[in-house]
Amino acid sequence: MLPAPAFLGYYLGMLKWTDDLLVGIDSIDDQHKELFDRIGKFYDSIDKGLTADKVSEIMDYLADYANTHFTTEESYMSQYGYPEYSYHKDQHHGFISDLYAIQKRLNTYGFSNLLGAELEGSLYHWLVDHVSKVDKKLAKYLKDKIKA
């Protein structure tokens, strides 16, 4: 079993989808909601003290969906000639790389307070920051292009 740090419950309480994260494109908003749900399941699996194998399985499930979502966004960017495509795609790759690095450390060393802090920063805060800034900018561009 993985020992969960005491502060993890605090982050679980924070991990809630709010409508201020809506970008205004239904397919992207639905996928963002699903990402939040999957991150919540990941945190919950650690909080419940599940085995490293089960936590790793849930992390794979999260990474697979993140890849699906990023592919959707990247196809929109390519289709509509988004000028910040490379930057946005690099952010996606960074997120996936961080997920796999965390998973490797989790499998090797188990859960620690330091890893918990990295999870909180790498997953929750990255996603909120990315959606509220980078994805909203993309959505505005796409909506303007689609109207034209």
The answer to whether 77 and 40 have CB atoms below 8 angstroms apart is: no
Based on C-alpha coordinates, what's the Rg of the chain? Answer: 16
Instruction: List the domain range (segments joined by +) for residue 121.
Output: 8-12+26-147
Cβ burial, residue 59 (10 Å; 0-12/13-18/19+) = buried
Helix (H) or strand (E) holding 11: helix 8-14
Residue 1 lies in a domain: no
The domain that holds 77 is classified in CATH as 1.20.120.50
What is the reported pLDDT for 14?
59
* Number of separate domains in the chain: 1
Whether the model clears a pTM of 0.85, i.e. scores above it, the answer is: no
Residue 82 lies in a domain: yes
- Give, for all 148 residues of the chain, the pLDDT tens digit: 444 444 444 455 556 788 999 999 999 999 999 888 887 777 777 667 667 677 777 778 888 889 999 999 999 999 999 999 999 999 999 989 988 888 888 778 776 667 766 676 677 788 888 999 999 999 999 999 988 6
